[in-house]
Amino acid sequence: MSQPTHPPPDTHETSGEHNWVRERFPKGLLLADGATGTMLQAKGLGPGEPPDLWNLTRPKAVQEVHEAYLAVGCDLVQTNTFGANPLRLTERGLSGQTAAINLTAVRLAREGCTAGHLVAGTVGPTGDFEGGRHRSVSTETRSAFEEQLSYLMHGGVDLILVESMTHLAEARMALQAAQECPPVPVAVSLVFFEQREGLLTLDGASAQEAVRELTTAQVVGCNCMHVEHVIEVLRQMREVTSLPLIGQPHAGLPESRGKKWVYPLDPEAMVRHIPALLASNPGILGGCCGTTPAHLEAVARSLRHS
């Protein structure tokens, strides 16, 4: 097992201009992995079954997903902890398992890593802002983040990746909770939806407004959107920040073909978007739902030649 490679402790003090990704990777771009959930579905994860629970019940399957991404050249793997905050786990009848699920997830992600690989502790939405619940500030939400973050950090992640945040208010809360912990870089990635006024979060923030609110993050960006929208959001963010940007497009909206769900964006199609993605000089590129090691392999190959 490789040693955790924590950044220098001054990371937070200098966060505004500190270019953590570029210091770590002088080549200037870190390749993250692709989807975990859809990969586990391919390995038999049933509808409604919590993917996070597989860290305990099917650890080998989770490890195989991480290793498949590392094998094709990804620099960074994301823990299988998207829904592993205590609020979501309790809703799924898994209360009391937050520690075991998160700690095991970090170990599984780390196991296939060698020197130079990074493990990102994935933190998804609590669910408190979904379905019109929109609690603006809830101490319960905040402590749910704090609990999950404490286990991810205790497990030894190299960075925290707050991702798939549909509400800027919740992203801000997660960022604040993460930054009260020991100094680990924090990346915050939001989802923007196409609306009449442009691409906005569900609480109405534009990409540039989000960046201005998240200036203490080490990395900002977006994920789980069409690749064209990721390109546009990163372009808008780059106009107002010098922070490293992260972009993780999904592979399109799945279409039902018989018993299978098929994602329309294949690896070669994803590669065709690389020049436009690189135009905003991102620090981290990866994939979200529906992307596979084949997508990331194609991206890695394309980056080597770009």
Write out the residues near Zn ion by the rule CB under 5 A.
Answer: 224, 250, 288-289
CB 108 within 8 Å of CB 59:
yes
Q: What is the DSSP letter of 77?
A: E
* Paired strand residues for 165: 190
**Nearest approach, Cβ of 218 to Zn ion (angstroms)?**
22
**Nearest approach, Cβ of 291 to Zn ion (angstroms)?**
9
Nearest CA among 285, 241, 282, 280 for reference residue 16: 241
Residue given tokens 């020049």 in the structure block: 275
For residues 144 and 224, which CB has a smaller minimum distance to Zn ion in the complex?
224
For residues 99 and 294, which CB has a smaller minimum distance to Zn ion in the complex?
294
For residues 172 and 250, which CB has a smaller minimum distance to Zn ion in the complex?
250
CA-to-CA distance for 82 and 103, rounded, in angstroms?
13
Contacts of 275 (CB under 8 A, 6+ apart): 306
**Nearest approach, Cβ of 288 to Zn ion (angstroms)?**
3
Nearest CA among 266, 289, 285, 265 for reference residue 275: 285
**Nearest approach, Cβ of 273 to Zn ion (angstroms)?**
16
For residues 4 and 254, which CB has a smaller minimum distance to Zn ion in the complex?
254
**Nearest approach, Cβ of 35 to Zn ion (angstroms)?**
7
**Nearest approach, Cβ of 124 to Zn ion (angstroms)?**
10
* Residue 6, Ramachandran bin (φ over 0: left; ψ between -120 and 50: alpha; else beta): beta
For residues 234 and 288, which CB has a smaller minimum distance to Zn ion in the complex?
288
For residues 227 and 288, which CB has a smaller minimum distance to Zn ion in the complex?
288
Cα-flanking dihedrals φ and ψ of residue 287, to 5°? -130, 155
